[in-house]
Structure 1
Amino acid sequence: MFGGIAKAVFGSSNDRYIKKLDKIVAQINAFEDEIHALSDEQLKAQTPKLKQRLASGETLDDILPEAFATVREAAQRTLGQRHYDVQMLGGIVLHRGEIAEMMTGEGKTLVATLPVYLNALEEKGVHVVTVNDYLARRDADWMGQIYTFLGMNYGVIVPNLTEEERRAAYGADITYGTNNEFGFDYLRDNMKYSRAQMVHRPFNFAIVDEVDSILIDEARTPLIISGPTEDKSTLYMGVDAVVKQLVDDDYELDEKQRSVTLTEDGTEKAERMLEDSGLLEGANLYDYENTLVVHHLNQALRANVLQKRDKDYLVKDGEVIIIDEFTGRMMEGRRWSDGLHQAVEAKEGVEIKPENQTLASITFQNYFRMYPKLSGMTGTALTEAPEFFDIYKMNVTVIPTNKPIQRIDEVDEFYKDEQDKFAAITKAIREASEKGQPVLVGTVSIEKSELLSSFLTKEKVEHAILNARQHEREAHIVAQAGRTGAVTIATNMAGRGTDIQLGGNVEFRIGDELADMPEGPEREAAIARITKEVAEEKEKVKAAGGLFVLATERHESRRIDNQLRGRSGRQGDPGLSRFYLSLDDDLLRIFGPQTMFAKMVRSNLEEGEAIVSPWVAKAIETAQKKVEARNYDIRKQVVEYDDVMNDQRKVIYEQRGDVMDADEISDVIEDMRAETVNGIVADHCPHGTYPEQWDVEALKARVDEVLGLNPPLDDWLKEEEVDPVILEERIQALADEQLAQKSKDIPPEDWKSIEKSVLLQNLDIQWKEHLATLDALRAVINLRSYAQKKPIDEYKREAFSMFQQMLVNIREEVTRTLAFARFQQAPPPPLPDLPDFITTHIDPFTGEDDSADIDAGDLGLVTTKLPPRQSGMPRLDEMLSDNPDEWQGQVSRNSPCPCGSGRKFKHCHGAPQ
């Protein structure tokens, strides 16, 4: 109670913060007359002038008032739109790295231009992140007129761009794109082999549109790049056939260590057979080009010699199933990694299944936390304010509306079952539509949309149903949902990014109705007619009560309910919102009041009778808070586990970057070789032990296996003063001399390239294997809780140990590759191309793959009459030729085919001939 009194007297903390920002808005307004008096050329000259002030030592905050006033004037001259004072408030909040909660219809798209322009003056790049490709293109082309007028360039990141086009888009002052595209590009960049191949610039500033959708709803699942998926059955079978012709004398078996290696004679024998079968490139097995063949040869040897049928595995229904070595039980669904499972499948002659292994992954939380400054805007963020601060350290500020809200939010109507509820909903929709009031109906699933549609069809009520897969068409339907008597059914995903204007949307009607009409007096007259009709219709709709938002049930998140409600009452328009509930609703059935309440309601409510009570609404809000808390815990757990991997990811990506940037890495390779020798000697000749305790034979075998050397260890051990340090130094000297002999005939620049390539490729192979191991660990770590251990702590400990072992493996593999590889006096092989990835980001609500490589929107032109394009960035439909035979390489394999068949390109015109 006392809190309410204090709030009434002093205002909320949000109100007090807004009052402070009003002073900055006053400074912006003070520049308006001065900026308005400038000519177009003088206004354009503001950009270099403001950049010069930054170069002279002033800060972005110092130039903010003049920069914002400049953008406001440029918007008036290009778009005919002037930023309201409340939009200036939103711009300041975004510039400060906070979240601006602004009601639907308050012009968030225009607000973003203020901080975008200001921060782009630093020439470090600004990213504007949207929820789909359609909005990225629309917003960039629309707001891009302001940036172009002020002398800045912009780019758009959408699917089907070439690497050069992506690089140009990221190199622009301002870059628009979707969260998936930005995230996947970051992962792809860190799999490339030179800086020149990368497309991202260093992270600077990002504004996330619909920030709650991207940073909350989609943050449950990480972005994953996996692959390649190409079937290598021929290679597995060919190598297996070679291994089956080897005899016992061709390899050395150590059952204790469970290792098997080819002898010198065995290597030569395998070499000849591989060459005869066409699997070997060049004359030598250990030539640089044959790294992959050697790897699969070793795995095939393990499969045929070490892995025993009915002991280590069994074959059931044409599948190789691992047997647990401790329990003897079948481990269905589990597979050996690193190609071993495929090698066993080849050995047994069953179908060889390709393995989609994770190559790179990142959560949205950890991706967006890499931006030094991150901000966002949405109509609904306040209910998730604690999560935004905990995870992203962003505060939420509620921006007041430009005009007072006139919408009436009625108390929920509560029915005993779904049948009664839908009958009441149908009646309310019919009554509103008959009096000319447009109705937007919100449902929580496509299934419920179709159920309601069947009710309306029986009552002969015309209506449109939205789905979230066709963003461009959806925008047209939403834009006209405010026309007289219109009835529109939308799931919670639908309609984002487009306002519902009462009476209809002038621009969309012009685009739809006059698309084929050429410029001229006739078109101008038609535009004037449409404009007049929309204005007249708007007055009729306002008289009928404005937009009626009717929800068929409460969503599990209050924020989604508020999004739906916010569709009505934009810019001071009248409106109405009402929610219809029943005991059959999922939220109430799972999280709602207990069965006693349910029994009382069912026994006391008559057919068609409703309860309208604030008490019921309070109980439902409590249920929603329970679900929100549960979902937050899920997302927080995802972050906790990814934070462990993220620390390791940063180290690996930083190391890759250092290697790519270095002129030469000979000192790094030398250190790796020294560490490897140190490890080998320490394993077999521990410090503080006597020579007679050393395992000399095992040391000889390891030195031969890793370094390809045969040092005179027996002679050295006869010396009195010999110790592990002396052994290390002598073996190190031999290894250094061996490599010096190899490199002396190769030009220094070529040798530097070889060293870099070997290190990067081995690092990538080991990192890929490490990710697979972490995935497996993550799947089983929760079992540790049975031992009264905290799974996350166990995961951290195990992951750290695995990471240390991975670093050891990298050092050893690089040393081994350079020791055994044979190089010729020829240019070094070109850096390998990136494989054909599978990019996945499964939407947590729909189960749809919302990946960046799969364009969820139509590929057709946006038929809306948008402001003219100012960017040089091509759109897909502009890039394609009229000849389908020329589409290869221009269209992503997973995109819908441009011919309009509805099938994926790879199954239509992109299918192999």
Structure 2
Amino acid sequence: MLDFVGGLAKRLFGSSNDRYVRSLQPVVDKINGLEPTISAMSDDELRAQTDKFRGLLAGGKSLDDILPEAFATVREAAKRTLGQRHYDVQLIGGIVLHRGEIAEMRTGEGKTLVSTLAAYLNAIEGKGVHVVTVNDYLARRDSGWMGMVHNFLGLSVGVVVPNIADEERRAAYQADITYATNNELGFDYLRDNMKYSRDAMVQRPFNFAVVDEVDSILVDEARTPLIISGPTDDKSALYTSVDAVVKQLVADDYEIDEKQKSIILTESGTEKVERMLEAAGLLEGANLYDFENTQVVHHVNQSMRANLIFRRDTDYIVRDGKVIIIDEFTGRMMDGRRWSDGLHQAVEAKEGQPIQPENQTLASITFQNYFRMYPKLGGMTGTAATEAAEFFDIYKLNTVEIPTNLPVQRKDSEDEFYKNAADKFAAIVKSIREAKEKGQPVLVGTVSIEKSEMLSEYLTKEGVEHSVLNARFHEKEAHIVAQAGRIGGVTIATNMAGRGTDIQLGGNIEFRVEDELSDLEAGAEKDAAVARIREEVMAERAKVREAGGLFVLATERHESRRIDNQLRGRSGRQGDPGLSRFYLSLDDDLLRIFGQQNMLHRLMNSGLEEGEAIVHPWISKAIETAQKKVEARNYDVRKQLLQYDDVMNDQRKVVYEQRQDVMDSEAVGDVVVDMRHDTINDLVATHCPQGAYPEQWNVEALRADLAAKLALDMPVEEWAKAEGIDQEIVLERILAAADALMAEKAAGIDPATWVQIEKNFLLQAIDHHWKEHLATLDALRAVIHLRAYAQKTPINEYKSEAFALFERMLGMIREDVTRMLAHAQFQFSPPPPEFGDTNPGGFITTHIDPLTGENEAAPEVEYMHLSPEQFDRAQAAAAALGAGFDAADPSTWSSFVTRNQPCPCGSGEKFKHCHGAIVT
């Protein structure tokens, strides 16, 4: 009864979304009412609107107050620069973006143009606007294309893509509007917080971001964090040896869980692996799961995943000696990304490719926590409704469905279901041939490169001409997509999410001009050729419309309904006719793993002939149920990732704020003094407990710690024997001696240089221990789920343990800064000419020439990249200076430099791989 009443109310009054959209109509009417006035302005008058708006904001007006006139100004600028006028529904989309909400707009409704409205309005304040895209091509394209509108109105536009210098990045971020990929934004944030001076940072404070393909970025990509890593020791021999062992396993040796992408050894498999590892000399003891074999077990597990779960041409491809990850949602190559925890190395060993060193995490962040730092965030996509609850739960973003400019004419056919993949592919080829014969273009959607190439082979065998669009042809994907609507065209695409290019019936005029007339100079000849192409496209468009428009044919259902809707949405843009149909079989991964097998098999065996299709509502319901299961599981994965990252995020904020405070401070002497005093307090409290008698003090340990951590040789044994001594007196004496030592050390160095030395030591210690802390948290997270067996909640246990580890990290930072400054010996002298800009040892002296004083930049301390352990070794080498160490004679170095220490020549290689290499 309630459902009936609710349905009746919805028909009478519209849904809440409909009512919200209608509430924006008065604003749209106001914008339209300004159009005659704005259109009458000259170019200079239109450009002057920006300064006028800035004046209004300075006078106390809000962005909402100037919105109607600002949107009308952008609409007119787009007409004059792009020849495009914003539709009313696009104005509604712009309002939604400005309000910090998600605008769901169908494919072909002009989302890219919509972004100019909110971007311009929010950029007027001068605080910066980020327009986020899913790939470099779109960032470059949109910054140049939509940038014409912003430049016309006097705003600066920048673009951030990979492999550009920091100077270019900084300039791009200083622009009024910055186009960038989500990855570059996140990595720049992490890189900025690894810099050693504020001037070296490229980003400025966050203000407002418009995220294109918001579902792809904030949902799909949010399953994995951004990580900046550094290489560790070479273990290629271990990966290769373990790979050889795993390749000998048979099906009875392991159990695979395809849902979780995990694999475990059976009892017999464990015994078999133990024997093979023992024969290979990789096993310590007889038991694989002994503590000392933890690392080997980890590598075996990763090698099994690489060999038995991860598939070539589906999860990755091999190109030019490299294993390149394939994005599971977009089908794109993710060149430069690597799987963590040794998985990428295991895949390289599997494929016989050069094994790159395993990496250690230096900094990481999830997209959820990155984008939640923006005070205001808006997004747009063609498909967001199925994840609306997640957008609100995680990001507090409402999703608003924007009506289409023209009614949708596309026909969505019922799914066709076949017994097996062979029958399905035969039916697909038949449908493609029929459509091609009548001139109807076909866009075929597949879920993997493997499936797209399999279908391509079918079509080639049948003599059907076609184009293939997948990660192997990333460079020309936009041009292939743009012409997918031509007469009789057949395009096979691996997942159409985020392609960013419209499929226009009859072809895309701009792309044809670019492809066919790029060699022609501007002039009458080129104008005539452009006119000819335009006429051809219009004539072809009419024929394609008569043939039924674009036929979207999907070879199977994706795990997410949203991705299916994205593929469907490629057809029927701007009122065009179209058709969509999905072809399914029992062999499809989605139904095989998640489907209701008993029901499906009963349907398949109910007298269905070979090659015959079945259409049944039960099947559609089963498929939808399977998709909901996967969506729920993926949401749980993302939610759990966020829960754990939230713990790290609180700590990350503290660390990054501390780093920035250090960089911004004119001096950090007070901080260093506090750290030294805290360290001394801890030492005295540990070895001379409050209330204990002097004879109960651990004076030997106290003296050893004072020498090791403070470079002090104090007569604590004599103090303990003196009358009237207590803990407070000991503390005062040590504090005074430590302060005197550091004052003496600082007195011999230029004050500005000393400040920079303290800053660099402090930043170095923070970075080193934060890196180690991240590694510890990763290891903790990998095992914390076992606490559930003790009836404890893993996330609560993780929070508690992480807090304790963070407290310990802060203590270690204090101690290391104190110890390194106390032991450091500073020698300011010109470097030997043989070594250019390096110094003897390369880690204990600066390269400041005290005679010039012309360098306005802060002095760069050469040892700032060393860990505390490396610093200790450096001190040992430094102590030997003048006693046989000759910086100009490498043959003298081996007495003072360990084989794993950085070579004194400054090459960055270990000594054993450089001047200390053994020649045979």
Paired with 2:480 and 2:498, the residues of 1 have a C-alpha distance of 8
Measure the CA separation in 1 of the matches of 2:705 and 2:731: 13
Partner of 2:565: 562
Cα distance, 1:795–1:322 mapped onto 2, change above 3 Å: farther
Shift of 1:609: 1.8
In structure 2, the residue matched to 1:583 is 586
Matched, 1:672 2:675: yes
Task: Report SS of the residue matched to 2:83.
Answer: coil
Distance verdict in 2 for CA 1:79–1:561, change over 3 Å: same
2:294 to 316, 331, 344: 331
* Contact 1:474 1:494 (C-alpha < 8 Å) held by counterparts: no
Structure 1 residue 411 displacement after superposition: 1.3
Q: Which residue of 2 aligns with 1:96?
A: 99
Q: 1:174-230 CA distances to partner (integer Å, 9 max, x unpaired)?
A: 111111111111111111100000001111111111111111111111111111469
Structure number with higher relative contact order (C-alpha < 8 Å, ≥ 6 residues apart): 1
Instruction: State yes or no: 1:683 paired with 2:686.
Output: yes
The SS at the match of 2:24 is: helix
Conservation of the 8 A alpha-carbon contact between 2:97 and 2:379 = yes
Q: Is the 8 A contact 1:684 1:698 kept in 2?
A: yes
The one-letter code sitting in structure 1 at the alignment partner of 2:733 is: R
Provide the residue aligned with 2:860 in structure 1.
Answer: 830
User: 2:906 is matched with which residue?
Assistant: none
Alignment match, 1:755: 758
Given that 1:323 and 1:331 are in contact with CA atoms closer than 8 Å, whether structure 2 keeps it comes out as no
Q: Distance in 2 between matches of 1:322 and 1:144?
A: 66
Residue 599 of structure 1: how far off its partner (Å) = 3.4
Alignment match of 1:794 (pick from 792, 797, 809): 797
Code of the aligned partner of 1:217: D
Larger CA deviation: 787-796 vs 354-363: 354-363
Paired with 1:173 and 1:315, the residues of 2 have a C-alpha distance of 63
Please say which of residues 8-17 and 714-723 is displaced more in the overlay: 714-723
Deviation of 1:85 after TM superposition, in Å, equals: 0.5
What does 1:8-157 correspond to in 2, within 5 Å? 8-157=11-160
Q: Report the secondary structure of 2:377's partner residue.
A: strand
**CA distance change for structure 1 residues 434 and 778 in 2, over 3 Å: closer, same or farther?**
same
Q: Give the Cα–Cα distance (whole angstroms) in 2 for the partners of residues 807 and 786 of structure 1.
A: 31
CA distances 1:283-328 after superposition (whole Å, capped 9, x unpaired): xxxxxxxxxxxxxxxxxxxxxxxxxxxxxxx999577979999956
1:438 maps to 2:441: yes
> Post-superposition shift, 1:376?
0.9
Aligned partner (choices 208, 211, 229) of residue 208 of structure 1 = 211
Question: Residue 377 of structure 2 corresponds to which residue in structure 1?
Answer: 374
Distance across 2 between alignment mates of 1:40 and 1:739: 66
Q: Distance in 2 between matches of 1:633 and 1:365?
A: 14
3-state SS, counterpart of residue 638 of structure 1: helix
Q: Give 2:10's aligned amino acid.
A: K
8 Å Cα contact 1:227-1:357 kept in structure 2? yes
CA distance in 1, matches of 2:546, 2:425: 27
Q: Runs in 1 of length 4+ with deviation above 4 angstroms? A: 228-233, 314-329, 352-355, 825-829, 831-836
Q: 1:468: Cα distance to partner?
A: 3.1
CA drift of 1:692 comes to 2.6
Query: 1:284 — aligned with what?
Result: none
Indicate how the Cα distance of structure 1 residues 823 and 376 shifts in structure 2: closer, same or farther if over 3 A, else same. Answer: same
Structure-2 separation of matches of 1:43 and 1:328: 73
Tell me the CA shift for residue 602 of structure 1: 2.5
1:294 corresponds in structure 2 to none
The answer as to 2:167 corresponding to 1:164 is yes
What pairs up with 1:845-884 in 2 under 5 angstroms? none
2:607 corresponds in structure 1 to 604
TM-score normalised per structure 2: 0.78
Q: Which residue of 498, 504, 515 corresponds with 2:501?
A: 498
Matches of 1:323 and 1:750 in 2, distance apart?
58
Aligned pairs for 1:372-771 (under 5 A) are: 372-493=375-496, 496-771=499-774
- For 1:405 and 1:325, the matched residues in 2 are separated by 62
Letter in 2 for 1:557: S
How far is 1:596 from its partner? Answer: 4.4
- Percent identity (aligned): 69
Separation of aligned partners in 1, 2:66 and 2:286: 69
Distance 1:814 1:660 in 2: 16
Shift of 1:163: 1.0
Q: Which moved more, 1:706-715 or 1:639-648?
A: 706-715
Does the 8 Å contact 2:600/2:619 carry over to 1? Answer: no
Matched letter for residue 810 of structure 1: I
Counterpart AA for 2:731: E
> 1:824: Cα distance to partner?
3.6
Q: Aligned AA for 1:22?
A: Q
SS in 1 for 2:759: helix
Q: Which moved more, 1:4-13 or 1:715-724?
A: 715-724
What CA distance in whole angstroms lies between the structure 1 residues aligned with 2:224 and 2:386? 21
Say which SS state the counterpart of residue 553 (structure 2) adopts: strand
Gaps spanning 5+ residues in structure 2: where?
Answer: 237-276, 300-354, 830-845, 849-858, 867-920
The two structures have a TM-score, normalised by structure 1, of 0.78
Structure 2 Cα separation of the partners of residues 321 and 141 of structure 1: 61
Distance across 2 between alignment mates of 1:625 and 1:370: 30
Do the aligned residues in 2 keep the contact of 1:746 with 1:824 (CA within 8 Å)? no
Q: Do the aligned partners of residues 832 and 646 (structure 1) sit closer, same or farther apart at CA in structure 2, a change above 3 Å counting?
A: farther
In the TM superposition, residue 661 of structure 1 has moved relative to its aligned partner by: 0.1
Q: Distance in 2 between matches of 1:715 and 1:218?
A: 64
Structure 2 residue matching 1:567: 3-state secondary structure? coil
Per-residue Cα deviation, 1:728-752 (whole angstroms, up to 9, x for no partner): 2221111001101111121211111
8 Å CA contact 2:761, 2:864 repeated in 1? no
Amino acid at match of 1:753: Q
CA contact (8 A) 1:556 1:587 kept: yes
CA distance in 2, matches of 1:782, 1:149: 56
Q: Which moved more, 1:2-11 or 1:717-726?
A: 717-726
Question: Is 1:322–1:332's contact at 8 Å kept on the other side of the alignment?
Answer: no
Distance 1:355 1:80, change over 3 A: closer
SS of equivalent residue, structure 2 residue 816:
helix
- Residues of 1 paired with 2:584 and 2:89: CA distance? 36
Please state whether the residue corresponding to 1:496 is helix, strand or coil.
Answer: coil
Matched with 2:823 is: 820
Q: Secondary structure at the match of 2:605?
A: helix
Residue range with higher mean Cα deviation, 46-55 or 450-459: 450-459
Deviations 1:595-628 (A, max 9, x none): 2441342342111222222332122111111110
SS of 1:31's equivalent in the other structure is helix
Deviation at 1:458? 2.5
Decide whether the 8 Å contact of 1:476 with 1:508 is kept in 2.
yes
Could you tell me how far apart the structure 2 residues matched to 1:27 and 1:121 are?
20
Indicate the RMSD between aligned Cα atoms, in angstroms.
2.5
393-402 vs 514-523, greater mean Cα deviation: 514-523
SS of aligned partner of 2:551? strand
State the Cα distance separating 1:795 from its structure 2 match. Answer: 1.2
Please tell me the residue identity of whatever aligns with 2:790: A
What code does the residue aligned with 1:830 have?
A: E
Instruction: Give the match's secondary structure for 2:359.
Output: coil
Q: Distance in 2 between matches of 1:109 and 1:50?
A: 23
